[in-house]
Amino acid sequence: MTDTTISAAFYTGDKTFTVEKIAAPGPGAGEVQIDVAFCGVCGTDLHIYLGHMDARVGDHRVIGHEMSGTVSQLGDGVTNFKVGQPVVVRPLDHCGDCPACNRGHQHICQNLKFLGIDTNGAFQEKWSVPAHTVHALPEGLSLSHAALVEPLAVACHDNKRARVAAGEDVLVIGGGPIGMLVAMVANAAGANVSISEINKNRLVFAEKQGYTTYNPAEMDVAAAYTEATGGKGADVVFEVSGSQPGVDLMTQVASTRGRICMVAIHATKPTIDLFQFFWREIEMLGARVYEPEDYDQALQLLADGKIDVSAMITDIKALEDIESAFVELTSNPNAMKTLISLAGE
C-alpha cells in the first residue's frame, strides 16, 4: 500500500460535510482501488444529509455510491482488471451465506452491506471496493455519463421485474430522477410511456424528453389515462412517488392483469386498495436495487446510445463545494442529478 494523501468528504451529522485529508484507503486483498472521477448525489444521500439515517451511518462517514472512475491499484489476488481501466461500482456486498444468498438473490442478501452507506463511499478521491462489485466500462462511454449507471441499473431492474414489453402502455407515477430513468428504459424497450407528476419543472423536463404527462393537481389522472388507453388502463404501473395519492392512483389505472411495480421507499404504511387487486387480477411486484445483469444492461444502453442521460446531469460541482451541492438539491426544484467531480474536470 502507498501512503498517498487524498481528499475525502465526510458527512459529520446535521447537514454538514467536512473535507479532510486522509491516507488513501486500501486496496486490501481482493479489492480494487479506484481514482474516482465523478460521484452523483442520490436521493438516499439527501436522506442521510437531512439526518434521517444517522443511526445507520453515524456522524463520520464518507457517503456516495453513484460513481465512475479508473482503476488505480489492484489488491492481492485481483487479476481481472487493469490499472487505468475505466469502471463503475455496483455498491452491494453480500454475505454469501444466508437464505437469500443461497437462493441466488445476493442483491437482497439478508445481511446486505451497501457501500457508501454501511461502509465509506465515493465522495473521496480514491475508493477501495471488493473486486466482485466492479464493472468495466464498454468502449465509448464517458465517465460523466457512467456516473448515472447506478440509478439507471435500478431502472433496468424495475423494468425487468415488471416484464415491460414493446407496445405496452406504461404509466410512471413520479417524475424525479429515478422515475425519469424508469421511463427511459421502458421507452427503449418499445413501450408507450406516460408520466404522472405534480412538480411543474419536472413536467416540463419530462415533456422535453418526449413523454406524455399527467398532472394530478390539475386533472383526474386515472380517468384521463383510462380514456387515453381506450378504457383499458396501464399494462404496467411504476409507483415511484412514495406518496398515498400515488398508491391510490396505481390501483385505479392498472389494467386487468396489469402489473404494478413498487419502486418507491414508503416511509409509512400506505393504504392499498386490495379490492382492485382481486377484481382486476392485478399483480404487485417489489423491486429493490439491481443484479449484475442490470448493470450490464445499463452500461450497454448508454454505450449504444439507446438512452441519453446528458439532460439528466443538471450540475457538476467540485468536492470542496459538496455541502452547497446538497443545499441546492434540497431547495432547487429544477435540479435532476448533480455530479461531484473528483478528478478536477
Known catalytic residues are 44, 47
| Residue with smaller CB distance to Zn ion, 115 or 191 | 115
Q: Out of 109, 221, 234, 339, which residue is the one contacting Zn ion (CB under 5 A)?
A: 109
The residue range among 34-42, 158-166, 293-301, 322-330 that interacts with Zn ion, by the rule CB under 5 A, is 34-42
Verify binding: residue 264, Zn ion, rule CB under 5 A: no
What's the maximum distance between 2 C-alpha atoms anywhere in the chain? 66
Verify binding: residue 173, Zn ion, rule CB under 5 A: no
| Residue with smaller CB distance to Zn ion, 94 or 126 | 94
How would you class 227 by CB atoms within 10 Å of its CB: exposed for 0-12, middle for 13-18, buried for 19 or more? exposed
> Minimum CB separation from Zn ion for residue 278, in Å?
34
Q: In terms of DSSP H, where are the helices of 52-211?
A: 54-57, 99-102, 143-146, 149-162, 177-188, 200-208
| Residue with smaller CB distance to Zn ion, 66 or 248 | 66
Verify binding: residue 98, Zn ion, rule CB under 5 A: yes
Q: Out of 1, 23, 29, 95, which residue is the one contacting Zn ion (CB under 5 A)?
A: 95
Q: How many residues bind Zn ion (CB under 5 A)?
A: 7
| Residue with smaller CB distance to Zn ion, 109 or 184 | 109
| Footprint on residues 295-334 left by Zn ion (CB under 5 A) | none
CA distance 185 to 310: 15
- Cell numbers given for 143: 465517465
CA distance 69 to 315: 18
Binding mask 37-66 for Zn ion (x = CB under 5 A): -----x-----------------------x
- Cell numbers given for 321: 463545494
Q: Which residue is associated with the grid cell 436521493?
A: 43
Q: Which residues of 64-91 are buried (b: 16+ CB within 10 A; e: fewer)?
A: bbbbbbbbbbbbeebeeeeeebbbbbbb
Verify binding: residue 101, Zn ion, rule CB under 5 A: yes
Name the residues that contact Zn ion, by CB under 5 A. 42, 66, 94-95, 98, 101, 109
